[in-house]
Amino acid sequence: MNDLPEAKAGDGSSLNMVSRFVGAAVGVAAVGSILASVYRDHLGRATAGLSGAKADTAHGSLQGALRVAGGLSRVADQRLTATAGDAFNAGGGVGYVVTALIAAAGAAWVWRALCPARDASAALADPAMGTVGAPAVPGR
């Protein structure tokens, strides 16, 4: 933003906001897909005795599973409710771990991209060296 002329600051700001919104939308979609996939896998056998429509509803969302569980016997209700909650928590856990790993990889990439070369920074930090690889000239 600092490199843009003042007349283009609004354009730069809007581009910055759009990139943030797109990144957030892609992140929500990715974490949501991971969560839904793990949820369906963990719910698996808990819906084995249900009709196809009820099983599909339970596999579709946590809310759907709780709605289906409400129409079952007390024991089946408690089992499906507990399994659906555990499946949702497992999906969230995997989704958030993947998000943390992506964030860590991004941070490492940015650190690496912004970190100056070690040889050049070591030479510049040595007060006996005026420039990289050359001794300082006294009196300058």
- Label residues 13-25 b or e (16+ Cβ within 10 Å = b): eeeeeeeeeeeee
Asked whether residue 125 is assigned to any structural domain, the reply reads: no
In a domain, 132, yes or no: no
Q: How far apart are CA 102 and CA 34, in angstroms?
A: 13
pLDDT number for residue 139: 54
Q: What percent of the chain has pLDDT over 70?
A: 80
Question: HSE-up of 42 (CA within 13 Å, CB side)?
Answer: 24
Q: pTM value?
A: 0.67
71-93, pLDDT tens digit by residue? 999 999 999 999 999 999 999 99
Give the chain's mean pLDDT. 84
> Where does the pLDDT of residue 129 fall: very low under 50, low under 70, confident under 90, or very high at 90 and above?
low
- Residue 135 inside a domain? The answer is no
pLDDT band at 122 (very low <50, low <70, confident <90, very high): low
Q: Does 4 score more than 60 pLDDT?
A: yes
Angle at 111 between CA 28 and CA 121, to 5 degrees: 170
Structure tokens at 14: 């809007």
Question: How many domains are contained in the chain?
Answer: 1
| 139 occurs within a structural domain | no
Residue 89's domain comprises 6-115
* Domain assignment present for 70: yes
Q: CA of 94: how far to CAs of 38, 89, 137, in Å?
A: 8, 9, 59
pLDDT at 93: 95
Helix axes 74-114, 62-70, angle to 10 degrees: 170
**Does the residue 37 lie in any domain?**
yes
Q: Does the structure show a pLDDT above 70 at 63?
A: yes
State which of 38-42, 114-118, 124-128 shows the largest mean pLDDT: 38-42
- For residue 67, give the nearest of 54, 82, 83 by alpha carbon: 54
Q: Is 78 domain-assigned?
A: yes
In a domain, 104, yes or no: yes
